[in-house]
Structure 1
Amino acid sequence: MPSTLPASLLEVLRCPVTGSPLRQDGDELVAVEDETMRYPIEHGVPTLLPADSAV
């Protein structure tokens, strides 16, 4: 079962690539302006790294 992030957190989070707001879709955050930009939520913590970034 995905954990729901607080609305106050979703209000300030932005897609690191497009800068658009994010909405929660299950266990992912999705950029509002480009739904191909998706970021996982793992153990209640969003990972906002672009897929092509090296850590």
Structure 2
Amino acid sequence: MFIAFIMAKISAYLHYRQVIRELMQLSDRELDDIGISRNDIDGIARQSAAS
């Protein structure tokens, strides 16, 4: 049970880092086209990892 909890946390963190990595590769114009700014990236990644 504890190991499953730890594995879920690790998986969520890896997902969070992947979203950060992908969004940071976009230019400011591309981010603007999808309606987000660089300041929003952390919150979007956290929300995505929590889902």
TM-score (norm 2): 0.27
Q: Which has the higher strand share?
A: 1
TM-score normalized with structure 1 length? 0.26
In terms of fraction of residues, the more helix-rich structure is 2
Q: Looking at both structures, which has the greater relative contact order when contacts are Cα pairs under 8 Å and sequence separation is at least 6?
A: 2
